[in-house]
Amino acid sequence: MGVLSEGLTQVLIPAAALVGIAFALLQWYLVSKVKVSGDSSNGYSSKLIEEEEDGIDSLEVSIKCAEIQNAISVGATSFLFTQYKYLGVFMGVFAAIIFFFLGSVKGFSTKSEPCTYSQGKLCKPALANAAFSTLAFLLGALTSVLSGFLGMKIATYANARTTLEARKGVGKAFITAFRSGAVMGFLLAANGLLVLYISIILFKVYYGDDWEGLYESITGYGLGGSSMALFGRVGGGIYTKAADVGADLVGKVERNIPEDDPRNPAVIADNVGDNVGDIAGMGSDLFGSYAEASCAALFVASISSIGISHDYTAMSYPLIISSVGIVVCLITTLFATDLSEIRDVSQIEPSLKRQLVVSTILMTAGIAVVSFFALPSEFTLFNFGTEKAVKNWHLFFCVTIGLWAGLVIGYTTEYYTSNAYSPVQDVADSCRTGAATNVIFGLALGYKSVIVPIFSIAIAIYVSFSLAAMYGIAVAALGMLSTIATGLAIDAYGPISDNAGGIAEMAGMSHKIRERTDALDAAGNTTAAIGKGFAIGSAALVSLALFGAFVSRAGIDTVDVLTPKVFIGLIVGAMLPYWFSAMTMKSVGSAALKMVEEVRRQFNTIPGLMEGRAKPDYANCVKISTDASLREMIPPGALVMLTPLITGTLFGVETLAGVLAGSLVSGVQVAISASNTGGAWDNAKKYIEAGASEHAKSLGPKGSDAHKAAVIGDTIGDPLKDTSGPSLNILIKLMAVESLVFAPFFAAHGGLLFKFL
């Protein structure tokens, strides 16, 4: 037994979650102190207005900002509600499928049956497993939706506040945007942990000593989380990029007006899209990763000695790591908001990167303490039919290597996507000779950026598997996600700053303010790329851990690539990310086509629009994005959800194991290169626009040929970095967790085709 008692564990986990929620609410309160409406007591004294050099009336600007914020918030809320109606139907149908498939494993019998792993003991009936897996699926789905929705609400609440704070200086605006990101990060991490913990406590009332059945049914929680994330990511990604591409191509390239110019009809849809895609989608996605990593670790532990001997504290090790992570991230956040102040634009990006380093160093110490106190000094872990003896310090290394691999991936991503370094500057330089060379350089950068992340994932897998088998890989994934609150705060900061810049432009604020919000936004672009790197890296580890759990549960001894059943799965699985990307890219393309036509139509038919005398019809563009995303999110979603069901039922567990391995191996590469290529093109364009160095000035200004080439590159990269790339990490995780949940059915009744052949 570990040093930590069972009672203390039961107090610590919910306490950490509640502290996280309280901290999030405190940050929300601090952000809310910035007033948006034309309130005379909003603290903007005459001294403040002096900074506004062209003397625009402060009250007028405030009211304008409030109006724009309201339009974005209403647009985002109505889109998400419409999307959730569709998802509600899907949840009901899929919950019925889970219940039917798992219930039929033993013909809906209500008799207790012998346990699979604890020899000689009786476990609860398969019907109970079906009912509780379905319940866990619904809980995971609801928590995922809630995470995304709350994130969107906070982002739309904070965007105009960040704009108004930018009048006081870049430091104040940074703190407002970062605090708002922290609200989302902490709410998500704490809610995910709390709901999972309470579910386990409640399920235990029925399951009692049958931990095997309990933790097998809990895997439904991860499935629910990720299935919602898939639709959120794909739907939100299509929405945001259709608007973005349409606004950029007509506005910047054809009409030569600035980004986020209020004359552009697609501008509100573009800003709404940042919230539904980058915020709500990202929130659901990282929640899904977190839920699945926890479920994979808990399932593997439940069939090992700590599960069979009912060592509650050791069993809760994955949850204790997440609890410590919340506390560590809380301390880290104070470094950015309270202990250091940003006085200059150049300090923004280092401050955000420092967050990653500080949280990683503190977390390493936290993991050491948890591994020593929560785990027995020696125990055995399930390792594909054999038992592997493990010491508690082995697990310290497993979690830590996952954590540091995440940092390496984050920093590599930053090197390839930030315009402070040579890769992006080379891409910007290639714009001198037109869009074609820009595209060639950008693609090459994306492919090259895969090398270091893959090596770090490979090393993490080898070390953690050697030390602690599949459990090692599951906790390595949790290690990477243990600082999720900080990761998400940094990530959500990006779209909030982007929106703040848009509001500044639309409200007609001065050039100086716009420069500040642009600087915040450029740093946000890089941090968004870092966030995507984390999401993809953790997805690789999570899906490998789930793959191991699936292979164990399906009763496969070895996955032999040389058998034709497995190999056909492998090669088809490797094709799936390309099929999926083709669907999502084409969806963005066809929606953007409609958007471009609509924006052109308005510019050509509304008299006085270009001169600023008439208002564009924003609502029409919002409608085009909404309709396209709701219609187009269904085919890619169906591809991911149906593949494991069809493969497992018709071809059996070996072929399905091949499909999972193939999709994991190719999906990670495609996802990293797509995200980084898009991020690099975006920042190459911003590098030329900012004109901060002699080199950048020689390529600019806005409207030059090089700038137009950069805008085209950025537009091609949009669906890569915000739709296809980030959705692929959900594809690889979701297929693995779905296979694990349905494993009892596939093992009992799968492979129908091969039975008849």
The pTM assigned to this predicted structure is: 0.91
3-state helix, strand, coil in the chain (%, to 5): 80, 0, 15
The predicted-structure confidence for 88-137, as pLDDT tens digits, reads as follows: 999 999 999 999 999 998 888 888 888 777 777 888 888 999 999 999 99
Residue type, 36: V
pLDDT digits (tens, 9 = 90+) for 271-283: 999 898 888 888 8
Quick one: what percent of the chain has pLDDT higher than 90? 60
- Span 138-166, average pLDDT: 92
Distances (CA, A) of 170 to 149, 342, 582, 685: 28, 7, 40, 22
Q: What is the mean pLDDT of residues 552-567?
A: 89
Instruction: For tokens 């060379």, name the residue.
Output: 437
| 674, 728 Cβ separation under 8 angstroms | yes
Summarize the confidence of residues 309-320 as an average pLDDT: 91
Residues 245, 721: contact at Cβ < 8 Å? Answer: no
Reported as a single tens digit per residue, the pLDDT across 464-520 is: 999 998 899 999 999 999 999 998 998 889 899 989 999 998 988 888 898 888 888
Residue pair 48/62 in contact by the 8 Å Cβ criterion: no
Mean pLDDT (the chain, rounded): 89
Q: Is the pLDDT of residue 585 over 50?
A: yes
What are the φ and ψ backbone dihedral angles of 123, each rounded to 5 degrees?
-115, 170
* Residue spans of beta strands (DSSP E) within 8-147: 113-114, 122-123
Q: Is 108 left (phi over 0), alpha (psi -120 to 50) or beta?
A: left
Encoded tokens for 159: 């965007």
Lowest mean pLDDT segment, chosen from 9-18, 525-534, 557-566, 579-588? 525-534
Please write the tens of the pLDDT for every residue from 598-629: 999 999 999 999 998 899 999 999 999 999 99
Average pLDDT over residues 230-234: 91
Tens-place pLDDT, residues 61-100: 888 899 999 999 999 999 999 999 999 999 999 999 999 9
First to last CA, the chain: 52
Q: When comparing pLDDT for 704 and 49, which is higher?
A: 704
What is the 3-class SS of 350-392, one letter each residue? HHHHHHHHHHHHHHHHHHHHHHHHHCCCEEEEEECCEEEEEEH
- Widest CA span in the chain: 84
- Per-residue confidence at 56, pLDDT binned at 50, 70, 90? low
pLDDT at 2 (0 to 100) = 62
* More confident position, 54 or 383: 383
Tell me: the pLDDT tens digits for 679-718? 999 999 989 988 888 999 999 788 899 999 999 999 999 8
What totals of helices (H) and strands (E) does the chain contain, helices first?
A: 26, 4
pLDDT for the residue 39: 45
